[in-house]
């Protein structure tokens, strides 16, 4: 007799909701990017012509001391095992100990990063508040004197070295006019008087209701923040002008004007609305550059941020501090990219 075949009907698999698929893809992308960043920093730490053992024990240590520290650091193990230990330490927030401060690198970064965050945030706010309207007006009044001024402002912002602008600003506004505070985050009188809550002196002094310390901190931060704001303003205004020119020459803008719509509605309700997604990328990149690229500004103004921290550590061959700061800066870039993707979905319905 012929055997009877039984067929089992498969239950149809329910597709994952779009937000779940997006979350999985985002988490996977973040994990791969972070793993690549850790691999790069690990290899940099291994190929640098600096002996981490000698940096710990000194050049006068005996061979027995050298071998003991060499084994204690795990340098006797294969590279793949060292990398595994390195990744596990970073995931626990352990970047090792700084040779300069004799403190955990994570504690040092937690102490210096708020200063850079405060400085860069004020800078990007100034760049956006002034740069976006300037770019829009320059595009609307193309060829006018306003457009020419906007282009010169952007050109000077790109061309002038920021360290030269910083020195000239200190000489003029602090040395000659006395309008702003000098280098550092606070004057000597207010140092260590405000309890640290967020690490950002403006916020901490406002929380403590110490308005004397607040205005002292403001007088110290306004000049370096304005320089960073001018640097970002040049980039943001130039890109905003370019995006707006493209939209203003589109057919839908001409149609809106023919229908009798007001110029304000055409510019801000139609043209500017269609460049918001592009501006998100520009602003996010500019903000990230301010967070990691304000090294010269921090050095000129004696600003105790992460840029000057990494630079000092590099000059002193403190590789734990250098690699820890590099990982944090890379993580900032990743977080800003994720935040930009979220804003895309909010402002652009087509990406949902």
- Residue 1 has what pLDDT? 45
Q: Are 87 and 130 in the same domain?
A: no
Query: Is residue 122 within 8 Å of 113, Cβ to Cβ?
Result: no
For the four alpha carbons of 221, 222, 225 and 227, in that order, the dihedral sign comes to negative
User: Which of 91, 116, 151 is the endpoint of a domain?
Assistant: 91
The CB density around residue 120, as the number of other CB atoms within 10 Å, is 28
Within 10 Å of residue 54's Cβ, how many Cβ atoms? 14
Domains in the chain: how many in total?
2
Residues 285 and 343 occupy one common structural domain: yes
| Residue that is written with structure tokens 């609305």 in the block | 273
Which pLDDT score is estimated for 20?
Answer: 67
Whether 10 maps to a domain, the answer reads no
Q: For residues 235 and 344, state if they share a domain.
A: yes
In angstroms, how far is the first alpha carbon of the chain from the final one? 58
Beta carbons within 8 Å of 342's beta carbon, 6+ residues apart? none
The H helix count followed by the E strand count for the chain is: 15, 0
Per-residue pLDDT, 49? 67
Number of C-beta neighbours around residue 48 at 10 A: 14
Among the three residues 46, 62, 91, which one is the final residue of a domain in this structure?
91
Joined together, the tokens standing for residue 121 give 């945030």
Q: CA dist 189 to 209, 218, 300, Å?
A: 17, 15, 21
Domain match, 133 and 40 both: no
82 lies in the same domain as 147:
no
Instruction: Answer whether residue 238 is part of any domain.
Output: yes
- Among 41, 57, 91, the domain boundary falls at 91
**Could you tell me if residue 221 is inside a domain?**
yes
**Per-residue tokens: 91:** 């995931």
Q: Is residue 11 part of a domain?
A: no
Same domain for 255 and 125, yes or no, is: yes
**Type and span of the H or E element at 257:** helix 251-258
Residues spanned by the domain of 306: 105-351
Per-residue pLDDT of the chain (352 residues; tens, 9 = 90+): 455 555 455 555 546 666 567 677 778 888 888 888 888 888 877 776 666 676 666 677 777 777 777 777 677 777 788 888 888 888 888 888 887 787 888 899 999 999 999 999 999 999 999 999 999 999 988 888 888 988 888 888 878 888 888 888 888 888 888 888 888 888 888 877 888 888 898 998 999 898 988 999 999 999 999 999 998 998 999 999 999 998 888 888 888 888 888 888 888 888 888 888 889 888 988 898 888 767 788 888 888 888 888 888 888 777 888 888 888 888 888 888 888 877 777 776 555 5
Whether 134 and 63 map to the same domain: the answer is: no
Assess whether 111 and 56 both reside in one domain.
no
Dihedral sign for Cα atoms in the order 163, 310, 316, 322: negative
Is residue 7 in some structural domain?
no
The pTM of this model reads 0.82
Residue 293 included in any domain: yes
Which of 120, 137, 152 has its CA nearest to residue 298?
120
């Amino acid at each position: 007799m012929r055997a009877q075949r039984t067929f089992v009907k498969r239950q149809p698999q329910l597709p994952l909701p779009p937000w779940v698929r997006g979350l999985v893809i985002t988490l996977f992308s973040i994990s791969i990017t972070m793993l690549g960043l850790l691999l790069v920093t690990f290899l940099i730490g291994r190929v640098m012509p600096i002996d981490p053992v000698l940096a710990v024990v000194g050049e006068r240590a005996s061979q027995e001391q050298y071998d003991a520290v060499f084994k204690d650091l795990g340098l006797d193990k294969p590279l793949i095992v060292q990398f595994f230990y390195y990744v596990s330490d970073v995931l626990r927030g352990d970047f090792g100990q700084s040779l300069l401060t004799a403190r955990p690198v994570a504690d040092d970064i937690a102490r210096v990063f708020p200063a850079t965050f405060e400085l860069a945030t004020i800078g990007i706010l100034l760049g956006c508040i002034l740069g976006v309207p300037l770019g829009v007006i320059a595009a609307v009044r193309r060829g006018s004197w306003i457009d020419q001024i906007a282009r010169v402002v952007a050109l000077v912002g790109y061309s002038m070295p920021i360290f030269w602008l910083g020195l000239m600003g200190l000489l003029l506004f602090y040395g000659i006019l006395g309008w702003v505070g000098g280098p550092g985050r606070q004057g000597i009188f207010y140092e260590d008087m405000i309890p640290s809550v967020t690490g950002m002196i403006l916020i901490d002094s406002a929380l403590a209701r110490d308005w004397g310390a607040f205005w002292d901190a403001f007088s110290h931060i306004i000049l370096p923040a304005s320089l960073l704001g001018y640097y970002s303003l040049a980039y943001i205004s130039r890109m905003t002008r370019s995006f707006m020119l493209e939209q203003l020459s589109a057919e839908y803008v001409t149609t809106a004007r023919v229908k009798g719509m007001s110029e304000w509605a055409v510019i801000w309700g139609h043209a500017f609305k269609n460049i918001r997604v592009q501006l998100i990328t520009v602003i996010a990149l500019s903000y990230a550059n301010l967070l990691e690229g304000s090294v010269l500004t921090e050095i000129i103004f004696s600003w105790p941020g992460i840029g000057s921290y990494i630079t000092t550590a590099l000059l002193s061959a403190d590789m734990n501090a250098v690699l820890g700061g590099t990982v944090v800066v890379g993580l900032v870039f990743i977080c800003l990219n994720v935040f930009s993707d979220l804003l895309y979905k909010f402002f652009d319905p087509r990406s949902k």
